[in-house]
Amino acid sequence: MRKFTKTMSAIGLAMAWLMMGASSVTAQGSGALPEQRLVTRYCLTCHNDQALRGGLSLEGIQLDDIAGHAEVWERVVRKLRAGAMPPDGAPRPDETTYNGLVTYLESALDNRAVATADPGRTETFRRLNRTEYRNAIRDLLELDVDVAALLPRDDAAYGFDNVGVVELSPTLMERYLTAAQKISRLAVGSLGVVPGSRVVTLRPDLTQEGHLAELPFGTRGGATVEHTFPLDGEYEIEVRLARNRNENVEGLREPHVLEMTLDSERLNLFTVVPNRNRFGSYYADEDVDRHLNLRIPIAAGPHTVGAAFLQKNAALIESERQPYQAQFNQDRHPRQQPAVQSVSISGPFQPTGAGDTPSRARIFGCHPTSVADESDCAASIISTLARRAYRRPVSYGDIEMPLSFFERGQANGGFEAGIELALRALLTSPEFLFRIERDPEDVAPGEAYQLNDVELASRLSFFLWSSIPDDELLDLAETGRLSVPAVRKAQVLRMLADPRASTLTTNFASQWLYLRNLDTMAPNLRLFPDFDDNLRQAFRQETEMLFDSIVDEDRSVIDLIDADYTYLNERLAKHYGVAGIYGSQFRRIDLPTESVRRGLLGHGSILTVTSYATRTSPVLRGKWILDNILGMPPPPPPPNVPPLEEPEPGVAASSMRARMEAHRVNPACAACHRLMDPAGLSMENFDAIGRWRDRTNNWSSIDASGSIPGGGTFDGINGLRTAVLARPHVFVGAVTEKLMTYALGRGLDYNDGPAVRRIVHDAAGDDYQFSSLVLGIVESTPFQMRRSQS
């Protein structure tokens, strides 16, 4: 690897020499580069030391020293590649000259990158974040834990919560200790587990009038709960029904039958009968769901508990047309039939043993037959666990202390208690809790070096799985085969095909696209009476399924903008006004070319997370487009300028536009809003929960004309989509930057510009297939290498 670095610098020197030679010749020949004249003519009018438009001056920055001002020129190239500069209305050279300048700048910057190879420096210590911790426990111990109850949230930086997780506060350390204790007990199946209870409460805005996905056909409403039962023993399952403000069971007007299931097998049926004879309408139902509980023996391990009502003849149910589909609220649109509020699971009571669980099968690779066997078996179990947990080969030195913890536990409670204590120690080790990338001893300060195979294995697994490497990956790394490009490529493709790669959707895409914020979205009930949790979940599902399909089928990422298909169930199809889709299951449907629902920009999820509770926000939508689709985040507002004010709902759309344009007269505001608002305004045909509308609430028509920087003007959502599609490299560049930030766990800077360009350029040949972006990132200098501490 040292050799590699040396070769790189040798090439670098040669390049630098060539460049110096070339530029000095030109400078001597004509006095100034033709490119320099272009910059002076078309850019300097605004970007000089006085005007300082956009905080940028190109005055005195010579084009024969691009390498010396790489940061500035990367900024310039970004705007030029998108065609966003010079702005509309300002003079601009012909296209050939324009592109010539961009190519000139890019090549100079790319050459500089070859010459100096700065791969950036990821943090030496990076804590596993919540998601990674949970996945690591799953892959290490075959155990699913409720990580939100164990660890505090992570703060995001650069849009992702795997960036900048370096701090370790005493509170957090305490939490890790507690988590290790709980997890090791649960995984080993310690009889020391104390009875506990878990209450799963359904969202109060979940409509339960019809069949819900994942529940048996013929049922209505309810929930399934996947739960890890710690021991063989008795457990109590209890169901409570949703109540209205009078403390009566909402929608209970006649008897209903509730079914409880365990792993889809019926446990029992319960009849719920209304009791309205006591005193009036308050508290009459106090006891009607008291009997909805069972105490039964359940074997240790993961099981699915279900509770749902048996469906009655659908014809009896009042069916209402939209917008009164949501039914969860006593006053506005009450439930027609009773609903499940919570399912609780308590236990174990009278535990009989640890049972046969996937965790135990995973941990206990050997079973000592005599006391004499115990030490050897423990050493084998602990070294296997330590290797996986530390993501590297382990030596005797690594397991010496865990073994002594084993002995201590063994002395007090036998073999399994020993393993439990050793596991608890491993889970508290900094080598498990932190991803550590240490500078090799023989690398000079500030020098780029190649990561070793074992470090690369972790980078791959945390990128593609948000988890630890599996044995196959680790084996290849330990035997030095992961540095063979063909082997590495095969591994990347294998990993992308693995179910664990679904974290690219649930972790990467959900942060990139702000899907995570859906849970906190609570559109105003009065204005949007048909919004409920069913719709919220359907929104999420549609976008997740689209992203999944890009990864699974290795499609072009351009399909994220213009897929000729989407995924709908009845709920979402009705919301979109698509006919002929019935039932709670999602299915893929084809979309015609002119459909407004093609791609992310027409998804209810995106349109809702970029709106306020009462109205749309062209500003939020525009900013979302600039940040996440075009990769051109607007500059921050100057200090002490209030955000642009928007009119209240009910104000005519034309006047909303007028007011926004009036605000853009203020130069301090205009710098950003000139870029953001027009993009958002082109989406005005979608209301704050993503429904199509031709008119606003007060019947005025909608003007959805808009523009994006460098993309000209257009009309409506399809115009916006066409404008984005016209320059695929801009969108793909934005995706690549987001994906790379996530892959590296650090913010990108100008030094990464050449790598991003190269990935986008190479992927173009594969029609921007998802795997070509991922492989491009994996093979890039920032991913393969690291700069040592200077």
450-509 positions binding another protein, by CB under 8 A: 506
Looking only at residues 361 through 390 of this chain, which bind another protein when binding is defined by CB under 8 A? Answer: none
According to the binding rule CB under 8 A, does residue 15 interact with another protein? no
Tell whether residue 650 is a contact of another protein (CB under 8 A): no
Q: Is 298 in the site for another protein (CB under 8 A)?
A: no
H/E stretch holding 686 reads none
Nearer to another protein, 96 or 169 (CB): 169
Alpha-carbon distances of 370 from 268, 367, 375, 737, rounded to whole Å? 44, 9, 10, 57
Answer for the pair 255, 273: CB distance below 8 angstroms, yes or no: yes
What b/e string do you get for 535-564 counting C-beta neighbours within 10 Å, with b at 16 or more?
Answer: bbbbbbbbbbbbbbbbbeebbbbbbbbbbe
Per CB under 8 A, the list member of 114, 436, 493, 652 interacting with another protein is 436
In angstroms, the Cα distances linking 578 to 97, 132, 569, 572, 692 are: 47, 39, 10, 8, 11
Residue 223 binds to another protein (criterion: CB under 8 A): yes
Q: Which stretch binds another protein (CB under 8 A): 159-167, 267-275, 453-461, 482-490?
A: 159-167
Check: CB of residue 307 under 8 Å from CB of residue 223.
yes
Inter-CA distances, 675 with 206, 360, 517, 640, 649, Å: 38, 57, 24, 20, 23
Could you say which residues in the range 589-618 bind another protein, by CB under 8 A? 612-614
Residues linked to residue 334 through DSSP beta bridges, in sequence order: none
Please, are residues 89 and 674 in contact by the beta-carbon 8 Å criterion? Answer: no
Binding status of residue 722 toward another protein by CB under 8 A = no
Among 93, 355, 529, 637, indicate the residue that binds another protein (CB under 8 A): 637
Residue among 19 and 551 whose Cβ is closer to another protein = 551
Q: Which of residues 45-104 bind another protein (CB under 8 A)?
A: none
User: What is the Cα–Cα distance from 419 to 401, expressed in whole angstroms?
Assistant: 12
Taking alpha carbons only, the member of 307, 268, 272 closest to residue 286 is 272
213 binds another protein (CB under 8 A): yes
Q: Where are the alpha helices (DSSP H) in 577-691?
A: 604-609, 618-624, 653-663, 667-681
Supply angle C-alpha 70, 71, 73, rounded to 5: 65
Whether residue 458 contacts residue 495, with contact meaning beta carbons closer than 8 Å, is answered with: no
Helix %, strand %, coil % for the chain, to 5? 45, 15, 40
Q: Which is nearer to another protein, 42 or 547 (CB)?
A: 547
- CB of 49 or CB of 247, closer to another protein: 247
CA distance 352 to 310: 34
Alpha-carbon distances, residue 508 vs 332, 505, 515, 632, 777 (angstroms): 38, 6, 10, 19, 15
435 part of the interface to another protein, by CB under 8 A: no
Cβ distance to another protein smaller for residue 86 or 222: 222
Query: Which of residues 44 and 436 has its CB atom nearest to another protein in the complex?
Result: 436
- Minimum distance of another protein from residue 599's CB (angstroms): 19
Does 244 sit near another protein (CB under 8 A)?
no
- Site residues for another protein, 275-294, by CB under 8 A, read none
Beta strands in 683-753 (DSSP E): 705-707, 713-715
Nearest approach in angstroms of CB 525 to another protein is 7
Minimum gap (Å) between residue 78 Cβ and another protein: 17
Q: Does 144 bind another protein (CB under 8 A)?
A: yes
Q: Report if residue 194 touches another protein, rule: CB under 8 A.
A: yes
Query: CB of residue 385 vs another protein: minimum separation in angstroms?
Result: 15
7, 24, 201, 585: which one contacts another protein (CB under 8 A)? 201
Stretch binding another protein (CB under 8 A), from 58-66, 71-79, 191-199, 256-264:
191-199
Angle between helix 34-42 and 95-116 (nearest 10): 110
Q: How many residues does the chain have?
A: 790
Q: Which is nearer to another protein, 63 or 300 (CB)?
A: 300
CB 203 within 8 A of CB 321: no
CB closer to another protein out of 183 and 464:
183
Q: Are 729 and 81 in contact (CB under 8 A)?
A: yes
- In the block, tokens 């990864």 appear at 551
Question: How far does Cα 70 stand from its chain's mean position?
Answer: 31
Site string for another protein, 105-124 (x = CB under 8 A): ------------------xx
Identify which of residues 227 and 392 has a Cβ nearer to another protein in the complex.
227
Binding test (CB under 8 A) with another protein, winner from 90, 148, 497, 764 = 148
* Helix 753-764, helix 70-81: angle, nearest 10: 30
* Among candidate residues 785, 11, 10, 9, the one with its CA nearest the CA of residue 440: 785
Asked if residue 643 binds another protein (CB under 8 A), the reply is yes
Q: Which stretch binds another protein (CB under 8 A): 138-146, 493-501, 575-583, 724-732?
A: 138-146
Q: Are the C-beta atoms of residues 493 and 771 closer than 8 Å to each other?
A: yes
169 belongs to the binding site for another protein (CB under 8 A): yes
Q: List Cβ<8 Å contacts ≥24 apart for 588-593.
A: 588/545, 588/549, 589/565, 590/564, 590/565, 591/563, 591/564, 591/565, 591/566, 592/564, 593/564
In whole angstroms, the minimum distance from the beta carbon of 73 to another protein comes to 21
Q: Which tokens go with 42?
A: 């078309």
Rule CB under 8 A: is residue 212 a binding residue for another protein? Answer: yes
Q: With binding defined as CB under 8 A, does residue 302 bind another protein?
A: yes
The strand pairing partners of 616, in sequence order, are 611
* Binding residue (CB under 8 A) for another protein from 2, 438, 587, 588: 438
CB of 767 to another protein, least distance (A): 29
Stretch that binds another protein, among 98-106, 178-186, 261-269, 564-572 (CB under 8 A): 178-186
Which of positions 655-714 make contact with another protein (CB under 8 A)? Answer: none
CB 751 within 8 A of CB 740: no
Query: Should residue 3 be labelled a site residue for another protein when binding is judged by CB under 8 A?
Result: no
DSSP code, position 54: G
Determine, following the binding rule CB under 8 A, whether residue 444 of this chain makes contact with another protein.
no
Residue type, 756: V
Name the nearest CA neighbour of 484 among 476, 494, 472.
Answer: 476
Query: Can residue 636 be called a binding residue for another protein (CB under 8 A)?
Result: yes
Other Cβ atoms closer than 10 A to 278: 12
Q: Which of 47, 134, 333, 721 binds another protein (CB under 8 A)?
A: 134
What angle separates helix 653-663 from helix 667-681, to the nearest 10 degrees?
150
State yes or no: residue 787 binds another protein (CB under 8 A). no
Per-residue x/- marks for another protein, 615-634, CB under 8 A? ---------x--xx------
Q: Which stretch binds another protein (CB under 8 A): 61-69, 356-364, 423-431, 769-777?
A: 423-431
Give the nearer residue to another protein in terms of CB position, either 112 or 540: 540
Binding residue for another protein (CB under 8 A) from 40, 244, 275, 788? Answer: 788
Q: Which is nearer to another protein, 380 or 412 (CB)?
A: 412
Mapped onto helix, strand or coil, the DSSP state of residue 479 is: coil
The residues in 305-364 that bind another protein, with binding defined as CB under 8 A, are 342, 344
Binders of another protein in range 526-545 (CB under 8 A) = 526, 533-534, 537
Of 745-784, binders to another protein (CB under 8 A) are: 746-747
Taking contact as CB under 8 A, which single stretch among the options 99-107, 288-296, 523-531, 553-561 is the one that binds another protein?
523-531
Residues in binding contact with another protein, number by CB under 8 A: 110
